[in-house]
Amino acid sequence: MPEFSLLAGGGYYGQDVDGTTITNTTEGTRITGTSENIQHGNGYIYSYLHLPNKLTLTLGLSFDSYSDSVSEYDQPNPKLGLLWNATPDTTLRLAALRMFKRSLVADQTIEPTQVAGFNQFFDDPTRTDARRYGLGLDHKFSSNLLAGAELSMRDLRIPLDFPTRVEVVRWKEESLRGYLD
């Protein structure tokens, strides 16, 4: 029977913003009041299964519910990670995950920030829907020498606000990086 552990939690952030906008036009100065209400709730659950052959499987799901004066989002975010300790010194990592970018003030979380060694939270624009896929290999040559390589791809959907609509821009990032420590 495989060993497993569960981690679950959630959070809520609400913000009311009242402000003043001053606009200079050819007809003079115009002062208008602005008000915005931001609500963001999230929950998550992660399961870590320790399988035979030194495999650790991460299965997770988070859910974000976000609303502001322009938009509303309800987004499930599945997480999948696999760690294989092929030898005591060599680890293979795989991950596929989805995440929703919280507003800057609500960025703090105790939700796990990585899946199988791949970061899931980036400084993207608020409300970005991002998917990340990765493959990594780490090796310990000695107690003082570590090396590794990582290939990953991120597929982002970034909402841009206009006065009468929201447009979504697609963005792809591919990275290959290595390290020697």
Answer yes or no: is 152 within a domain.
Answer: yes
Greater confidence (70 vs 88) lies with 88
H/E run at residue 6: strand 3-25
- Would you place residue 63 in the very low, low, confident or very high pLDDT band (cuts 50, 70, 90)? very high
Answer yes or no: is 19 within a domain.
Answer: no
Q: With contact defined as beta carbons under 8 Å apart, do 163 and 139 qualify?
A: no
Q: Note down the domain range covering 73.
A: 3-12+39-180
> CA nearest 7: which of 102, 111, 83, 81?
111
Answer yes or no: is 33 within a domain.
Answer: no
Greater confidence (31 vs 86) lies with 86
Answer yes or no: is 57 within a domain.
Answer: yes
pLDDT digits (tens, 9 = 90+) for 74-84: 999 999 999 99
Answer yes or no: is 17 within a domain.
Answer: no
In the predicted structure, residue 106 carries a pLDDT above the cut 70? no
In the predicted structure, residue 44 carries a pLDDT above the cut 70? yes
In the predicted structure, residue 24 carries a pLDDT above the cut 80? no
Q: What's residue 33's pLDDT?
A: 66
Q: Number of folded domains in the chain?
A: 1
As a whole number, the mean pLDDT across the chain is 89
For residues 106 and 104, give the distance between their C-alpha atoms in angstroms, rounded to a whole number. 5
Q: What's residue 108's pLDDT?
A: 75
Answer yes or no: is 20 within a domain.
Answer: no
Question: Which residues, other chains included, contact 106 with Cβ-Cβ below 8 Å and sequence gap of 6+?
Answer: 11, 13, 15, 40
Answer yes or no: is 157 within a domain.
Answer: yes
Answer yes or no: is 26 within a domain.
Answer: no
- Would you place residue 34 in the very low, low, confident or very high pLDDT band (cuts 50, 70, 90)? low
The model carries a pTM of 0.82
